[in-house]
Chain A
Amino acid sequence: MEQEATDDTSLVEEALGGNRASFQLLVERYEQRVFNLIRHYTRNPVEIEDLAQETFLKVYRRLGSFQRQSSFYTWLYRIAVNTILDSLKRRGRSPVQAVEDLEAVPAAPAVASPSPSAALEREEIARITHAVLEELPEIFRTVLVLREYEEMAYQDIADQLGISIGTVESRLFRARARFKERLLQKHPEFGNEG
């Protein structure tokens, strides 16, 4: 891990010095993770590629501002998340809602969480989950993606989003409650399988 961080830093230096192959290597190293991340926001392959490309072009343009204290991927990841969120806003997919308003919304009444049926294929589960996530407000979707898919620690999520750990916890709690609520609305058939 440490070795990879060192390698990343060297590649950044070389890219800054005009070495295109070094930058290409950085892209190759992280393209899969960036594509996977973007895929949680859109299923359109063209859109995924456009956003990934926009992310890496921004990364190159801002390479000089990369602080070596953090890992390259953490830095790149922040650019990717911001690029995705900006794009969603630009395309009017996600109406802007005040964070305070959303966090003031009471959580859904406690009902048993549905569990995906054993018969469901992995891709089918992913499709259903994606459809539910798409209907969640952006702040809830992002915190769920970072925690559940990217398996980021609360502290890393807080750093990425520029919020406190306490806010991460409360946002996650509400996001999960919203997710459960929407899932059961869309698929009441899973409600009996808890």
Chain B
Amino acid sequence: MECQNARSMIPSYCDGELTEAQAGPLRQHLLGCQPCRGSAQDLKNLKRWFAAPAAAAVPTGFAARVARRAFAGDTGELAPSVPGPRVAEDGGRLLRFVLACTSAAAGVLLVLSIGVRQIGLPQTNQLQADQPAPQLDRALEELDRLNRAEKAPQAPPKQP
């Protein structure tokens, strides 16, 4: 067997795809040809990277759950459009609605607070901090009068 033929058969040989009639002559060639034997060993080395890992964990009750969903009419098919963007789109619409409501509520609150402030404010501009209010003047005058009356010498009581 020529090396060129042998090399082309090595992958099938290592994968167990050759019949004994095909594998026999190749095996003979490999025994006597170090470079071709090296090629076969090279492929075997590569195949060692595909050692099966531990079995994947199957969640408890998976089969029962799937059977229930299947018989409930769940097709397992995704909606025509990709769900991710749809969710994002729905979320965006909701967010816009919430923002619109919030801004409307903020506007109403602003108007209300201005109105309340206007009600609480005095309706005249005559009240000044350096000018006593008329009621205060009168109260002060009254107090002053009472003070003076108290300090004034009292008339002696009349003798009977």
Interface residues of chain A, those whose CB is within 8 Å of chain B, are 18, 20-21, 23-25, 27-28, 31-32, 35-36, 38-39, 45, 48-49, 52-58, 60-61, 90, 112-116, 122-123, 125-126, 128-129, 132, 144, 147-149, 153-154, 169, 172-173, 176, 179-180, 183, 194
Contact = CB atoms under 8 A, between A and B. Distances in A.
Chain B's interface: helix, strand, loop or mixed, by majority? Answer: helix
A169 B71 CA distance: 41
Nearest to A122: B51
Contact of B49 (A56, A112, A129): A129
Interface residues of B, number: 37
A153 B58 CA distance: 27
Contacts of A60: 66-67, 70-71, 76
Interface centre among A18, A52, A57 (most CB of B within 10 A): A57
Contacts of B150: none
Contact of B76 (A23, A57, A183): A57
Contact of B70 (A57, A128, A149, A176): A57
26 contacts: A20-B68, A23-B71, A24-B66, A24-B67, A32-B56, A35-B55, A35-B56, A36-B55, A39-B56, A48-B56, A53-B62, A53-B65, A55-B76, A57-B69, A58-B75, A60-B71, A112-B45, A115-B49, A125-B49, A126-B51, A129-B50, A148-B47, A149-B52, A154-B15, A173-B11, A180-B46
Contacts of B141: none
Contact of B11 (A27, A49, A169, A179): A169
A123 B70 contact: no
Interface in B70-86: 70-71, 74-78, 82
Contacts of B56: 32, 35-36, 38-39, 48
A19 to B, nearest CB: 9
Contacts of A53: 62, 65-66, 69, 76
Contact of A54 (B17, B46, B57, B76): B76
Contacts of A176: 11, 43, 46
Contacts of A56: 66, 70, 76
Given A48-B56, A173-B11, A114 B70 contact: no
B55 A32 contact: yes
Contacts of B54: 122-123
Given A20-B71, A36-B56, A179-B46, A125 B66 contact: no
A148 B53 CA distance: 12
- In the A-B complex, the 9 residue pairs with the closest CB atoms: A57-B76, A126-B53, A148-B50, A115-B45, A24-B67, A60-B70, A27-B63, A35-B56, A113-B46
B59 interface: yes
